[in-house]
Amino acid sequence: METFCAFLLLVVGSAVTSAVQNSKDSLLYPYGTDQGDRKNPKLDDGTSPEIPISEPFTFYGKPYYSLYVNNNGVVSFGVNVSQYTPDPFPLEGGWPFVAPYWGDVDNRMGGDVFWRQTQDPAILSRCTADINQYFPKIPFQAIWAFIATWDHVAYFGSASKKVNTFQAVLTTNGNIAFILLNYADIQWTTGRASGGDAKTGLGGTPAQAGFDSGDKVNYYNIPSSRTPEVLNIGGTTNVGVPGRWVFQVDEFVADATTESTDCLL
């Protein structure tokens, strides 16, 4: 009987874990080569080429016409980012960027970094519905989106099988701009060169999440950034959906009065 109970608990526990993971995965917008994505090179601290975008994306009062997708968990404007140990926002260097999970990714060790811009009606409809749900007082209909996904990416110096999957979605109606940061599975916080343990991917200087406009005024550090608790970012939110953070970024300061919430399972 005890053996059967133990087996039953294992099965139920596995089912709950699977259900939770499926829920997290559903937060991610479709990605991959079958969606028309391009992939970054397998290169430590690598980056995409400069990517011209078909619609200007306004980031705190300044329109941008191109961007970079950096292997180390950053979408940047005007400059690529090879730095692997994250600094807290605001940055001294004045780099404007969005950081779903700024840490020392090494896609040579595992995983891929995907990206595409799109005006696919199904994606735009999803962006519109999400933004209307979270910001019902702001009229918004998406005309463009950019999706960057770090899929099962390993960390520098990894001596484990731990990987992270997360995503940044940028969208605009031509005037108002939003970012959505989605977290499916976060298993490590730190690469070895940032002081992390090669066997655990923990310790040292953990990953940073949020965004920085580059003007030292408009920025946001997601709570737990650069602390061990950032490992649990997939259970936090500012819009009532664990694993998702959403911000309006065209000219308004992020609503820092919106407290993060933890997902209790």
Determine the pLDDT at residue 10. 43
| DSSP code string of 68-129 | EEETTTEEESSS-----S--PSSPTT---EEEEEES-B-TTTS-EEEEEEE--HHHHHHHHH
Global confidence as pTM: 0.88
Q: pLDDT class for 1, splitting at 50, 70, 90?
A: low
The predicted-structure confidence for 171-225, as pLDDT tens digits, reads as follows 999 999 999 999 999 999 999 999 999 999 999 999 999 999 999 999 999 999 9
Q: Strands across the sheet with 51-59, in order? A: 51-59, 62-70, 74-76, 97-102, 208-212, 219-221
Determine the pLDDT at residue 252. 59
Exposure on the CB side of residue 196, measured as CA atoms within 13 A: 33
The predicted-structure confidence for 5-29, as pLDDT tens digits, reads as follows 444 444 445 443 444 445 567 899 9
Domain spans of the chain? Answer: 2-262
